Structure 1
Amino acid sequence: MMNSIDLTLGTFILLIGLAYWTTTMVDYNNNYVDMVKQDYKFSLAINTMESLIKSGTLEDAVILYYANKTDSCIELLNQSIPLSNYSLYIDNNLIISKGLNLNSSIYVVSTLTINRSVGWYVLYGNNKDDLKISDERFLSYEEAYNRYSNFAIDMPIYLSKPINSVKVKLVIQ
């Protein structure tokens, strides 16, 4: 027959084991949930960067930035990035920062090869939401202006520094 002390001791050991197992499972589940959240954010950052590159928005923003049209660059990026907390850097220069706390951030870095030389390019379009930058380079302001005069908005911009490759970093939270 079992002693009541043995039964109490067995129950106590069982309770300690169950408590340890429960703590381990809760901790494991919390780590798993955090990992899934981080993976979702990482996928969101990659998809955002990929859509900016595929649409040509990132290239246009870089050209605007190097043509000293930072306000237009920021406006273009604000319209194109569907995130609420992010920062965007072009060649380690902060361009946009919207409500970002750098404690638990995800970084996506892309190297963009543009190969634009010094000269006049045209910022053109039919409305403010549909602006593009010409692929061809012009030698003079007049030549650039006359070539795109049939658009509602046409503004020649001068690129004073050749652009070969640019490092763009998107940081999200």
Structure 2
Amino acid sequence: MKEQGLTFVTEEDVKNLPYFRALVKETLRIEPVIPLLIPRACIQDTKIAGYDIPAGTTVNVNAWAVSRDEKEWGPNPDEFRPERFLEKEVDFKGTDYEFIPFGSGRRMYVPYANLLGETGVTLLLNFNFKLPNGMKADEINMDVMTGLAMHKSQHLKLVPEKVNK
């Protein structure tokens, strides 16, 4: 869809872009928005990884650690490699427990992922992005601050230039 000289992308368009979807998933795997999910309570006695968890126990899920499990993601889980999502079909919907950037169950928030895809492709179609003031890519600070939500210790600043079509 075109409007005001810009090309807009829909969710249907994003479904036809497997590598872009893999790129978004890998970004969320490496840098989950919320590293510790909302605490949950077990509703029945459960056994996980050999541990007995009694009903009523509060459970905290570390999404950051889950997304770096070598058993699920292979060697070098800290390496940014979107291709892993072309090799392994997992989704945001919370049923693939090795990939839960938005949690699982009734309290998860998947529409954010869909919006991220549409917005990301729309931006990439309409703009070229450059680093400011002659900055080089290897000078980008990738350190994060820990807390309830993970965010960069220094904001990434980009200069958008409209693509001439």
Structure with higher strand content: 1
TM-score normalised to the size of structure 1? 0.23
Look at both structures and tell me which one has the larger radius of gyration over its CA atoms: 1
Structure with higher helix content: 1
